[in-house]
Amino acid sequence: PPVKLLVLPGDGIGPEVMHEVGRVIAWLEKKRGMAFDITHDVVGGASLAEYGVPIRDEVIEKAWAADAVLFGSVGDPKWGHVGFEKRPEVAILKLRQELGLFANLRPAKVFDALVDASTLKPEVVRGLDIMIVRETVGGIYFGEPRGIETLPDGSKRGINTEVYTTSEIERVARVAFDLARKRDNRVCSVEKCNVMESGLLWKEVVTAVHAREFPDVELSHMLADNCAMQLVRNPRQFDVLVTGNLFGDLLSDLASMLTGSLGMLPSATLGAVQENGKRPALYEPIHGSAPDIAGQGIANPIAQILSFAMLLRYSLDRQDEAALIEQAVSNVLASGLRTADIMAPGMARVSTSVMGEAIVLE
Amino acid sequence: PPVKLLVLPGDGIGPEVMHEVGRVIAWLEKKRGMAFDITHDVVGGASLAEYGVPIRDEVIEKAWAADAVLFGSVGDPKWGHVGFEKRPEVAILKLRQELGLFANLRPAKVFDALVDASTLKPEVVRGLDIMIVRETVGGIYFGEPRGIETLPDGSKRGINTEVYTTSEIERVARVAFDLARKRDNRVCSVEKCNVMESGLLWKEVVTAVHAREFPDVELSHMLADNCAMQLVRNPRQFDVLVTGNLFGDLLSDLASMLTGSLGMLPSATLGAVQENGKRPALYEPIHGSAPDIAGQGIANPIAQILSFAMLLRYSLDRQDEAALIEQAVSNVLASGLRTADIMAPGMARVSTSVMGEAIVLE
Ligand SMILES: CC(C)[C@H](C(=O)O)[C@@H](O)C(=O)O
Ligand SMILES: CC(C)[C@H](C(=O)O)[C@@H](O)C(=O)O
C-alpha cells in the first residue's frame, strides 16, 4: 500500500521549501518504486486565516491516520495579537501533545563544505555531529496549574508548572540510549538537579534506566547551565544529549547555531508505538517560517528535504533512500551551489527551486 | 567609619583567589585612605565540614550587618552525596533569598588582549560588552509547590513551580533600564511568552515599566531559545539583557563562555534599598570552585578582583577606585602576564599570587 503522508506546509517559507520535497517524492516514485498517498492541509497563520484557529481537530485526526506528518513551519507577525490560545505556535504544540510525540530528535551537524559558516572557529566545529533528544510533551510546556491570576491589590501573578514522572523520563531516555548505540555510544543527560527536584528525579530515572537496560552505553550527567557553556567551549565532546522540554528548547537551538547554517537542519519528533504497530511521527526543519524572506524564492530547502530523509529513515525504515538523499545534499554543496543563507565567496548562489532540482538530479 | 565587609571564600580555589583581593584592599587602605572592617566566615563545603550545614543563620546575620558581601565560590565533589537540603549550593541560594538579592548583574566582556581565547571568531566577539541582568530570588528556583512525590503505583513525580509577580518583574526591570542608561541605552527582555504564561506576564510588565518610567531607553523582546541562538550568531547586537532566574542561569553562562575566559568575569547581586538606606549586595566571580586545580596556586584571581571592583562601584560608589583596578587588570594583561587558564603562545605564564601582585603594582 502507498505510504500515507500528511503534509502541513504552514506559514512563511514553509510552502516554498515544502514544494521542493515534492520533487524528491516524485523521484522516489519514479526511480525507487515507492508510492505515496499525500494529503495537504493548513496550520498556523494559514489556518487562522481560513478557519480562525491555528489547527483544526480534523487535522489531528488526519495526522493519526497518516504514516507520518511532514511539517513546514508556523508563525506569522500578522497573527502577533490573536492572544495566547490562538497563536500559530499552538499548531505544533497541539500536534505534539495530541499525538504523544514525546521525543524530539535534533541533529546538529556541520557539513564539511559549510564549516566556515559557523561563528565558531573551524577547528572547534569541524566534524561536529551531536544528536539532541528533547522531551516534548511534558515539563513546563504542559504542566498544570498554569496561567495569570490577578491578586487582591490588582497586581498579577504568572504561574507555570514543571512536572516529570518516572515513565515520561524513562521513555525518552530509552530513545536516547537506543540512538547512542547506533552512534558513538555515549549519552549525556542534562538537568538542574542542584536547584530543581524535577531535575533530581530526571537524573535518578535516567541513571536507573541506564543501569537496568543500557549498561553498555556510556552515561554522564551535566547541569544545564554548564551544558550551555560546554556547547560553546567544546561541542564535539558530546554524542547524544537527552534533556527536558524547556532546556531542550534552548540547548538544541544553541547547538543548531553552532553549525552556522540553520537552513540545513532537520528534526524528527516521535511518539509511542501503538497497538496496531504504527508509531506517530512528525518531521520538520528546525528553522522558522522566516516571514522576512517568504515568497522570494530564495529560502534554503535543504532542512525540509533532510526532514523528509529522516522520515524515510525513522518512519519507513528506508535507510538506503534516506542515505541517498543525504549524500545528494552533500554532493550538491561540494559542487558549490549555495542558497543565500549559506552563500560564501566563490560559490554559486541559487534559488530555492534550483537547489531542489540539483539535489534530485544528483 | 570603615567599610564593613563580610568575606566568604568558600571552597576549592575560592580561598586562593580571595587572598589576592587582600592585596588590593591593603593597597586601597594605604594609597587611597580607605578603611575596611573585615569579617571572614565559611560557607559551602567548608561550612559542611565544620558545622554540618552549607551556611549558618549567623552568617546570614553577618551579611545583613555588612555593607557588602564578597563571596568566593562553593561546591566540592566531596559533598556530592549529602542530599538536596545540604548541598553546598544552598549557601548561595540562601544568601540570595534571605537578603532579597534579586538582581544578578553579569557582565560578559571581551578584553582586547584576550580576544583569541574565545572559541568564536575574533571578528564576532571583539569588543563584546553585554550586561545580563538576571532575576535571582523568584521563578522556578524558589516557587512552591516543589518536590518529589510517590504515586500509588510506586513511580514518582517531580514538581517545580515557576512564579513571577508584577512587583518582582518590575523591580528587576528597573535595574536593567537604569543600567542601560549608563551604557548603550538598550534593553532586550527575554522569556518564552509563546509557551509560558509567566513569560507572558514578564513581557507585559517589562513593557509597562518601560512606557511609564523609561521611555527614553530602547526596549526589545526576544524568546529565550532565539536568544541562545543570537548570542552565538551575533552577540554584539546586545547591550543589556534582562531575564528570569532559570533563563538567566543558562544565558549568562553561555554569554560568559563567549569571552573564552571565565576566570576574568565578575558578578554583582543586588537587593532592595532598606529603610536605613543600605542596600544588601553580594559580589562573586562567575567561575566555580574548580576543585581540580585547587591548592596549586595556579587559579586566575582576576574575576575575584574584578568582583571587588564591582563592589567598590555599586555598593560604595567609589567609581574612581573601581576604574583604577579595572585599568590595572587591562594593563597587566597587555603586558603579557597570563595565568594558566588564559595562557597563549608568547605570553608569560604566572601563578595566582604573581598575577595578584602585578595588578597591585600597576
Ligand atoms: C514554536 C515553539 C512553541 C517551539 C517550542 O518552544 O517548542 C519551537 O521553539 C521549537 O523548538 O520547536
Ligand atoms: C550554584 C547554583 C545554584 C547557581 C544557580 O544555578 O543559580 C549558579 O549556577 C549560578 O549561576 O549562580
Enumerate domains of chain B plus CATH numbers. 1-102+271-362 (3.40.718.10), 103-264 (3.40.718.10)
pLDDT over threshold 90, residue B172: yes
> What is the average pLDDT value for chain A, to the nearest integer?
96
Among A58, A168, A176, A163, CA closest to A107: A176
d(CA B313, CA B36): 15
B238, B254 contact by CB (below 8 A)? no
pLDDT attached to residue A79:
80
Query: Which pLDDT value is given to residue A22?
Result: 97
Q: How far is Cα B84 from Cα A310, in angstroms, rounded to an integer?
A: 41
**How would residue A175 be classed by pLDDT, with cut points 50, 70 and 90?**
very high
Q: Which three cell numbers stand for residue A224?
A: 544545564
Protein residue with least CA distance to atom 6, ligand 2: B249
Nearest one of B63, B22, B67 to B41, comparing CA atoms: B63
Choosing from A129, A178, A184, A253, the catalytic residue is: A253
**pLDDT at residue B338, as a whole number:** 97
Tell me the C-alpha distance between B214 and A331, whole Å.
53
Please name the helix (run of DSSP H) or strand (run of DSSP E) that holds residue B108, with its range, or none: strand B103-109
Burial of B204 (C-beta count, 10 Å sphere; 0-12/13-18/19+): middle
Mean pLDDT over each residue of chain B, to the nearest integer: 96
- Rounded Cα distance between A299 and A16, Å, is 8
Is residue A89 pLDDT above 90, yes or no? no
What gap in Å lies between CA B310 and CA B262, rounded to an integer?
16
Nearest 10 degrees: Cα torsion B113, B118, B123, B127: -50
| pTM, two decimal places | 0.96
Q: Which residue type, as a one-letter code, is found at position B328?
A: A
Query: In the prediction, which pLDDT does B79 show?
Result: 80
pLDDT of residue A250: 98
Q: For residues B45 and A223, give the distance between their C-alpha atoms in angstroms, rounded to a whole number.
A: 19
Whether residue A160 contacts residue A143, with contact meaning beta carbons closer than 8 Å, is answered with yes
Q: Is the peptide bond before B145 cis (omega within 30 degrees of 0)?
A: yes
CA A247 – CA A224 distance, rounded (Å): 7
Q: What is the pLDDT of residue B267?
A: 98
CB crowding B330-354: b at 16 or more within 10 Å, else e: eebbeeebbbebbeeeeeeebbbeb
Determine whether the shortest distance from the Cβ of B93 to ligand 2 is under 6 A.
yes
Whose CA is closest to atom 7 on ligand 1?
A: A249
Task: Give the model's confidence band at B195: pLDDT under 50 very low, under 70 low, under 90 confident, else very high.
Answer: very high
- Single-letter code of the amino acid located at A74: V
The pLDDT of residue A286 is above 90: yes
One-letter identity of residue B152: P
Q: What cell numbers appear for B112 in the block?
A: 582586547
The residues lining ligand 1, judged by C-beta closer than 6 Å to any ligand atom, are: A 89, 92-93, 249; B 194-195, 225
CB contact residues (below 8 A), chain B span 243-272, against chain A: 246-247, 249-251, 253-254, 256-258, 262
Q: Which amino acid appears at position B340 of this protein? A: A
Please report the atom of ligand 2 found closest to the CA of residue B248: 11
The conformation of residue A318, written as its DSSP 8-state character, comes to -
Q: How far apart are CA A356 and CA A293, in angstroms?
A: 17
Amino acid letter, A226: N
Total H helices, total E strands in chain A = 12, 14
pLDDT the model gives residue A85: 85
Q: Are B282 and B69 in contact (CB under 8 A)?
A: yes
Q: Residue A333 above 90 pLDDT?
A: yes
Could you give the count of Cα atoms lying within 13 Å of A31 in the half-sphere of its Cβ? 13
Number of H helices, E strands in chain B: 12, 14
Kindly report which listed range (A9-13, A76-80, B142-146) carries the lowest average pLDDT score.
Answer: A76-80
pLDDT at B73: 95
Give catalytic residue positions of B.
141, 192, 225, 249, 253
Residue B25: what pLDDT? 98
pLDDT classification of B87: cutoffs 50, 70, 90: confident
The DSSP code sequence of B227-273 is HHHHHHH-GGG-SEEEE-HHHHHHHHHHHHHHTT-GGG-EEEEE-PP
Question: Which residue has the CA at smallest separation from atom 4 of ligand 2?
Answer: B89
Q: Does A82 touch chain B (CB under 8 A)?
A: no
Q: For residue B81, what pLDDT band results from cuts at 50, 70 and 90?
A: confident
DSSP label at residue A286: S
CA angle A20/A295/A21 to nearest 5° reads 10
Q: Are strands A103-109 and A266-270 parallel, antiparallel or unpaired?
A: antiparallel
d(CA B346, CA B362): 21
Which of A195, A201, A257 is closest, CB to CB, to B232?
A: A257
Percent of chain B with pLDDT over 90: 95
Gyration radius (Cα) of chain A, Å = 20
The predicted-structure confidence for A31-54, as pLDDT tens digits, reads as follows: 999 999 999 999 999 999 999 999
Closest CA to B362 of B35, B36, B27, B32: B27
Q: Average pLDDT of B328-352?
A: 96
Q: What is the largest CA-CA distance in chain B?
A: 69
Cell of B171: 523591580
Q: Does B198 touch chain A (CB under 8 A)?
A: yes
In this predicted model, what pLDDT tens digit does every residue of A218-268 receive, in sequence order?
A: 999 999 999 999 999 999 999 999 999 999 999 999 999 999 989 999 999
> How far apart are alpha carbons B41 and A191 in whole angstroms?
31
For residues A358 and A337, the answer to whether their CB atoms sit within 8 Å is yes
Report whether pLDDT(A305) > 80. Answer: yes
Q: Environment class of residue B178 by beta-carbon count within 10 Å: exposed (0-12), middle (13-18) or buried (19+)?
A: middle
Report H helices in chain A.
Answer: 14-31, 45-51, 57-65, 90-99, 122-125, 166-181, 197-213, 224-233, 245-258, 302-314, 319-334, 352-361
Interface touch A119/B232, C-beta < 8 Å: yes
Helix, coil or strand: residue A200: helix
Q: State the average pLDDT over residues A90-117.
A: 96
Would the pLDDT of B307 be above 90? Answer: yes
Confidence of residue B313 (pLDDT cuts 50, 70, 90): very high
pLDDT band at A111 (very low <50, low <70, confident <90, very high): very high
Please tell me the distance between residue B272's alpha carbon and the centre of ligand 1 in angstroms.
35
Best mutation target among B82, B123, B196, B236 (most A Cβ atoms within 10 Å) is: B196
Q: Is 80 exceeded by the pLDDT of residue B80?
A: no
In the prediction, which pLDDT does B312 show? 98
Task: Give Cα separations from B86 to A223, B44, B83 (angstroms).
Answer: 18, 9, 6
Please check the confidence at residue B264 and state whether its pLDDT lies above 90.
yes
Ligand 2 centroid distance, CA of A253 (Å): 22
Percent of chain A past pLDDT 90, that is, above it, reads: 95
Give the pLDDT band of residue B85 (cuts 50, 70, 90).
confident
Q: Do B200 and A148 touch (CB under 8 A)?
A: yes
Residue whose CA lies nearest to ligand 2 atom number 10? B249
Rounded distance between C-alpha atoms, residue B147 and residue B144, angstroms: 9
pLDDT for the residue numbered B311: 98
A153 or A85: whose pLDDT is higher?
A153
For residue B217, pLDDT over 80 is answered with yes
* Stretch A77-103: mean pLDDT: 89
Closest CA to B219 of B182, B251, B256, B190: B190
